Amino acid sequence: MDKKQFIIRLNGLAVGSHLYEFEVNDTFFEGREYSEIEGAEVKVELELLKQNSLIQLNFTLSGTLRAACDRCTKSYPVEVSAYEEMLLKHGNPEEEHPENVLVIPFGENELDISQPVYEFISLALPARRVPCEEDPGFKCDYETLKKLNDVSTDEPEQNPGDTIWDKLKNVDFNNN
């Protein structure tokens, strides 16, 4: 991912409302720790409200994620939408702070929103993912796998006998 895309310059920002738009796609997840998200096409709209000593960040996310079905691991699209509010403060990011507060070091004039956006997207992914139970149009690969397994267990009972019989018949025919 091009990290610069998710960076906002804070110096010289006028008091008032500022709007930003970001696109989260598959490359956003590259190089991140194990994630259950296989892909994404999510639009992030950020409204930055600057007051005299405070900055409020309102994130609106909408789009589609791709995740694996819990039952058959087949990839399927998950519609997501989320709204999150955060406050931006200067301080020591290592120190404890409320969940809805984003802390950046004193003197830092750039805000990287990729981490909070990653967390919002992760939270937006449903914990239970069995699309076939909700969408009658979604066919679980589980069904296909089960059928394939049934066919393959039937095979050894019939085919080897047939094959040997055919071979013997061929041998007899050639000898005559």
Binding site for Zn ion (CB under 5 A): 69, 71-72, 74, 140
Distances (CA, A) of 166 to 158, 161, 170, 176: 13, 9, 6, 16
**Cα–chain center distance at 70:** 14
Q: How many CA atoms lie within 13 A of 100 on its CB side?
A: 10
Give the shortest CB-132-to-Zn ion separation in angstroms. 5
CB of 13 to Zn ion, least distance (A): 47
Minimum Å gap between C-beta 126 and Zn ion is 14
Closest separation in Å from C-beta 127 to Zn ion: 16
DSSP class per residue in 127-160:
S---HHHH-TT---HHHHHHHHHHHHHHHHHHHH
Comparison of 47 and 141: residue with beta carbon closer to Zn ion: 141
Q: Compute the least distance from the CB of residue 131 to Zn ion, in Å.
A: 6
- What is the distance between the terminal CA atoms of the chain, rounded to a whole angstrom? 72
By C-beta, is 74 or 97 nearer to Zn ion? 74
Of 81 and 149, CB closest to Zn ion: 149
If the CB atoms of residues 66 and 89 are measured against Zn ion, the closer one turns out to be 66
**Identity of the residue, 71 or 90, whose beta carbon is nearer to Zn ion in the bound complex:** 71
